[in-house]
Structure 1
Amino acid sequence: MDYYAHRVAVITGAGSGIGRALAVNLARRGTRLALSDQNAEAVAETARRCQRFGARVLTDTVDVTDRQAVLRHSAAVHEEFGRVDMVFCVAGVIHTGRLINSEFSDFDHVLNVNLLGVVNTAKTFLPLLISSGGGHVVTVSSAFGFFSAPCYTAYSASKFAVRGFSESLRQEMRLDGHPVSVTCVYPGGVRTPIMRNGRFAKGEDSAAVTKRFDTKVARMDASRAAAIILLGVRRRQAQVFVGADAKIAWILVRALGSAYQRLVLWVGRR
């Protein structure tokens, strides 16, 4: 029997990108799904794709920065399925531009969604994961969670924080003897609408940045990324690197230490 068959998986940010790809992949495997996104039409479309495989799906429109909304969603999931086996905290946003040209509100938006959204989701569902007897929290950081670059101060800050949060939570689960695994995912360039839907600081050429991301950075299809993630989760890996670019970045940081920043500047000036 497939590892994921008959399990209950919660996925935030399920309306597009990696969240949608995870949902469809799991639907094929017989997983019962609780899908949420801030975009009601998008998550409904994901649900339709999953239901074509006969999956049992609960959908909800949830802003992960709204703790009360996340709590209501958790209650609805528990009422529908009676249990939760795994939670994929995928919802995320990006902001591009130098800090001096950025609005406080844009910085707050990225931190609230990318970090506090993960905290809200993980904390809310943790009791259900513990009671399942073998739960799993899956967070999504980024290659920018250990490898920083100019013009992504908010995004890097949030993804570095997700990495630290995940490692600390993993230690807590082990220290307290709870049967909950924690996997932190580090995607490199994956083809998702995150940049097209992102925010940009004053003076940024949003069209050029988006085109560069789509043509030069985002080389991996979201469905391939989902397959890599699910393999790592099944193996209960602490870290999952999605793409050679993410793994190379990790190796460079470990090999060069803070000196990698000089390499980033050199590449950026070319």
Structure 2
Amino acid sequence: MKSFSNKVAVITGAGSGIGRALAQELSSEGALLALSDVNLKGLEETQASLSGKSKVLITQLDVSDRSAFENYTQTVINEFGHADMLFNNAGVALSQTVENCSYDDFEWIMNINFWGVVYGTKSFLPHLLTRPEAAIINISSIFGIIALPTQSQYNAAKFAVRGFTESLRQEVKDSNLYVGCVHPGGIKTNIVVNGRMHTSMVGEQSHTQQIEEFNKMARTTPTLAAQTILKGVRKDKRRILIGQDAKFMDRLQRLFPEKYTGILSSIIKFLS
């Protein structure tokens, strides 16, 4: 997909972070936008920040609610007539050991980070397949490629998004549909602020300390992340890595598939 002008782009998690930046970039290129988030105030702030003059629909949506997502899909189709691009971007963070993680926390993150992607994909897929060209872009994480302690729940969800997306890509390879999987490294968003951060990867830390550590390590802005994603879509890239940290960790995992965890643990302790 070389041009986004007049394309109908559906973006979940558009109330902040990468979702907001994607909306801003696509708006500037003349796309029509269907924006959703569980945070209505954030959506309104996103809408107010847009520079383009194209039509924008904002909807409060909990992506973990299948019926709500299916109803939202029909709302978008009724409003715009069709959809051309779907960015399954909504996501949350959780940090806890396997032993101490509650089932409620585990189900919470899986319902949003994995099932939200499934619901979005399943709901919009039949409509996207009718378009001359279309795209599904699922946001995984570098933690969908590498695993670290206290991140088992987040790893499980993001590895699942990666596998789901790569399988879907093969199923639709002879169609009009581009399918991309995005693996961001540390992005300067509020994901840790809004997450359930019970235990740190480097030992006992308060939520405030974890936010401070994340902000030190997150070096990529949402705007740069959004620009990288859209560049990847234009080039039909199957896997889109965002940030030098993501590229480094991807290479490290490829070179040392059994030893990368020890190397990364040493780096994290050194940086903290």
**2:184 matched to 1:187?**
yes
Q: Normalised by the size of structure 1, how large is the TM-score?
A: 0.94
Cα distance in 2 for residues equivalent to 1:138 and 1:182: 6
Alignment of 1:32-181 (within 5 A): 32-50=32-50, 52-174=51-173, 177-181=174-178
Partner of 1:233: 233
Cα distance in 2 for residues equivalent to 1:241 and 1:269: 24
Structure 1 gap segments, 5+ residues each: none
Cα distance in 1 for residues equivalent to 2:86 and 2:36: 11
Partner of 1:211: 212
| Paired AA for residue 42 in structure 2 | A
Q: Classify the secondary structure of the residue corresponding to 1:257.
A: coil
| Paired AA for residue 218 in structure 1 | A
Partner of 1:199: 196
For residues 84 and 20 of structure 1, do their structure 2 counterparts lie closer, same or farther at Cα, with a shift above 3 Å needed? same
Q: Normalised by the size of structure 2, how large is the TM-score?
A: 0.94
Cα distance in 1 for residues equivalent to 2:221 and 2:267: 25
Cα distance in 2 for residues equivalent to 1:130 and 1:258: 40
Over aligned residues, Cα RMSD in angstroms? 1.4
Cα distance in 1 for residues equivalent to 2:205 and 2:98: 12
Cα distance in 2 for residues equivalent to 1:123 and 1:67: 10
Q: Classify the secondary structure of the residue corresponding to 1:24.
A: helix
Shift of residue 269, structure 1, vs aligned partner: 5.4
| Paired AA for residue 214 in structure 1 | N
Cα distance in 1 for residues equivalent to 2:132 and 2:3: 15
| Paired AA for residue 206 in structure 1 | H
**2:217 matched to 1:220?**
no
Partner of 1:22: 22
State the aligned residue count: 265
| Paired AA for residue 208 in structure 1 | Q
Greater CA deviation, 72-81 or 14-23?
Answer: 72-81
Shift of residue 54, structure 1, vs aligned partner: 1.1
- What whole-Å deviation, never above 9, does each CA across 1:48-93 have from its counterpart, x for those lacking one? 222x421210111110011111111111111111111110000000
| Paired AA for residue 101 in structure 1 | N
Shift of residue 268, structure 1, vs aligned partner: 4.9
Q: Which structure dedicates a bigger proportion of its chain to helix? A: 1
Cα distance in 2 for residues equivalent to 1:268 and 1:110: 24
| Paired AA for residue 14 in structure 1 | A
Cα distance in 2 for residues equivalent to 1:12 and 1:231: 19
Cα distance in 2 for residues equivalent to 1:166 and 1:213: 27
Shift of residue 184, structure 1, vs aligned partner: 0.3
1:144–1:156 CA contact under 8 A, matched in 2: yes
Aligned residues: percent identity?
39
Cα distance in 2 for residues equivalent to 1:211 and 1:198: 14
Cα distance in 1 for residues equivalent to 2:137 and 2:102: 30
